[in-house]
Amino acid sequence: MNSWGQIFRISIWGESHGQQVGISIDGVPSGIALCEEDFSKDLERRRAGALGTTPRKESDMPHIVSGVYNGFTTGTPLTIEFLNENTQSGDYKNLITHPRPSHADLVAQQKWNGYNDPRGGGHFSGRITLGIVAAGVVAKKILGQDAKFATEIVEIGGEQDKAKFADILESAHAAQDSVGGIIECRINGIGAGLGEPFFDSAESLIAHLLFSIPAVKGVEFGKGFAAARMKGSEHNDAIIDKRGTTATNSAGGIVGGITNGNEIVVRAAIKPTASIAREQNTYNFESGKVEPLIIKGRHDVCIALRAAVVVESAIAIALADLKLRA
């Protein structure tokens, strides 16, 4: 399904080595000031180049092709495209005959009977998330200036001490390996009442979008999995004023599927990058044997670094849809 959302509805398309990736956003209220520069800051956070990310850089220039007139959103579908610059694909036959472990190469072939575009992972490429970041920028405008997002990597390769992150990244790179990480997003200023029980709880919508992002394998709110190890007397959040402020925030700002006005706390677990330079064994459909595979090219040592803004954007999209429904 390429579309998501009830009122703020996004539709995406594109492949890694096709002409472009894009997104069309419906339900954007009219009269929101918007220009291409508005996307720069968040797109920059997603860009490669820093320590632990792939040295391959490409321009991620957004093109607004509909839905903005004289600098303001019109109320009709807002479409944003990103041209793919390097669509000269090498030989991708090996992705078909010798599919990469923990990549979608094989399931894509199985699902679409071999008609999938295998080049660079095709539709499964992280490049698709450019549109999510763009939509997130618009979503944050809808949520308003009071809504504050603070997103950070709280763990890399099992280490929580940020001072040691650089070491972990460097040693993983040296070992031709990759590492996973945990992204935490804290949001203030959303207010109480967002979430539509039973099925469209705030947690459900946020998790739905987060699990669309390649590499996310876990999502938790507030104390999350740690809550399962707590007693009720420890976990319960006492209400301390008439606005519903709580003394603790085990719930992560969502109770009964509805935001309660306290800080929203979401964490996403990002698996280690599947592409590693180190030799791996996996099945070769040509030879019919398990054989060594070398994945060429330069890869992100830790994709969590670039995924952080994507996670934040997805959360913003879910909250914007809920706000427009309320």
Least distance between its own copies and beta carbon 325 (Å): 7
Residues 254-283 that bind its own copies (CB under 8 A): 255-261, 269-276, 278, 280-283
DSSP for 3-24 reads: EE-SSSEEEEEE-TTSSEEEEE
Tell me which of 59, 88, 113, 145 binds its own copies, using CB under 8 A: 113
Least distance between its own copies and beta carbon 317 (Å): 10
Residues 288-317 that bind its own copies (CB under 8 A): 288, 290, 304
User: Measured from the CB atom, is 104 or 134 closer to its own copies?
Assistant: 104
Binding of residue 225 to its own copies (CB under 8 A): yes
Binding of residue 16 to its own copies (CB under 8 A): no
Binding mask 32-71 for its own copies (x = CB under 8 A): -------------------------------x-xxx-x--
Residue 281 has φ and ψ, to the nearest 5°, of -100, 140
Residues 68-87 that bind its own copies (CB under 8 A): 69, 72-79
Binding of residue 126 to its own copies (CB under 8 A): no
Cα–Cα distance measured from residue 137 to residue 72, given in angstroms and rounded to the nearest whole number: 14
User: Measured from the CB atom, is 124 or 149 closer to its own copies?
Assistant: 124
Residues 137-166 that bind its own copies (CB under 8 A): 155, 157-158
**What is the enclosing helix (H) or strand (E) of 165?**
helix 165-174
**For 6-38, b where at least 16 C-beta lie within 10 A, e where not — what string?**
ebbbbbbebbbbbeebbbbbbbbeeebebeeeb
Cα–Cα distance measured from residue 251 to residue 322, given in angstroms and rounded to the nearest whole number: 19
DSSP for 104-154 reads: SHHHHHHHTTT-S--GGGGGGSGGGHHHHHHHHHHHHHHH-TT-EEEEEEE
Binding of residue 233 to its own copies (CB under 8 A): yes
Binding of residue 21 to its own copies (CB under 8 A): yes
User: Measured from the CB atom, is 59 or 288 closer to its own copies?
Assistant: 288
Binding of residue 224 to its own copies (CB under 8 A): yes
Least distance between its own copies and beta carbon 40 (Å): 20
The C-alpha angle with vertex 200 and arms to 194 and 204, in degrees rounded to 5, equals: 95
Tell me which of 35, 51, 230, 294 binds its own copies, using CB under 8 A: 230
How far apart, in Å, are the Cα atoms of 131 and each of 138, 174, 245?
A: 11, 32, 35
Q: Which amino acid is at 242?
A: K
